[in-house]
Structure formats: structure tokens, C-alpha cells
Amino acid sequence: MFWVILIIIVFVIIIAITKSRPKENFDNNRFININTTGKETLLFELTGVHVPERMRYISGFVKQSDSVTLEFEPNNRYDENAIMVLHGGVNIGYVPSFETEEVKKFVTKYEYYALVYKKEINMGYLYMEIGLIQK
């Protein structure tokens, strides 16, 4: 009888833990549908998202299609060409260094808006793409 009760208790605890965990979202076919006909667009993967504070913020507050802003950081101690990406004034990551020149060309050539194009979390790995779209 003791073992039956113990097994039931363990089973109830496992169910409670499983239901309390946030569901991770991974869907390769989920993209934002934006009409970009005749408009220039630029997509890039956001880097630096795995810093624990950023990851917690992104997981809790950042949604696909949210607006973001770009901020050039010429005084960045690691890279004078760094471009920070902000969500509501919070640093959520950076433009990859190998794409900063292309992003600079885009933002100087066009009036644009920037948004979270894709956000996926799979087994603790966070993947984000930022989209720049000509107005």
C-alpha cells in the first residue's frame, strides 16, 4: 500500500511540474506576413541574445512583430561599428559584425521601420531575426 501511494504522489508531482513549465515554441513555418511588394527589406539574425539577463527579458517581454530600434555605438569598446538593437529601450542584442556595413547602407538609404521578424525558442536555444523594411 505504501508503494502505491508513493507512486501516485510522484506521478502527481511530475504532472504538476510538466504543466507549470512554459511551453517552448518552435515552428519553422511561422513568419510574419508583411506586404513588402516594391519595398526593400533586410533580415539578420540577432546576436548576443544568450546573455542571461537579455534572454530572460526576451523570453518574457519580446514578441514577434514588436517594434525595435537600432542604435549605433561608435564608442563600443569591442567594435566601433557595433549596432545595438533595442526593444522598449532595453538592449536585446546586436547586429552581427559581418552585417553592420549592409545594415548601415540600408538605414542611410531608406526611411525604415524595424521589427522582430522571427522569435523561436527550442530546448533553451533562442533564435531571433530582425527585419528592416523600407517605409
Tell me which H or E stretch contains 56: helix 52-61
| Contacts with 85 (C-beta within 8 Å, 6 or more apart), sequence order | 46, 68, 69, 70, 71, 91, 92, 93, 94, 95, 114, 130
The three three-digit cell numbers of residue 6, written as one number: 508513493
pTM summary value: 0.73
> Over the Cα atoms of the chain, what is R_g?
20
Mean pLDDT of the chain, nearest integer: 84
Q: Where are the domains of the chain?
A: 31-134
What is the tens place of the pLDDT at every residue in 36-79? 677 889 999 999 998 889 999 998 999 999 999 999 999 999 99
In the CATH hierarchy, which fold is given to the domain comprising 31-134? Alpha-Beta Plaits (3.30.70)
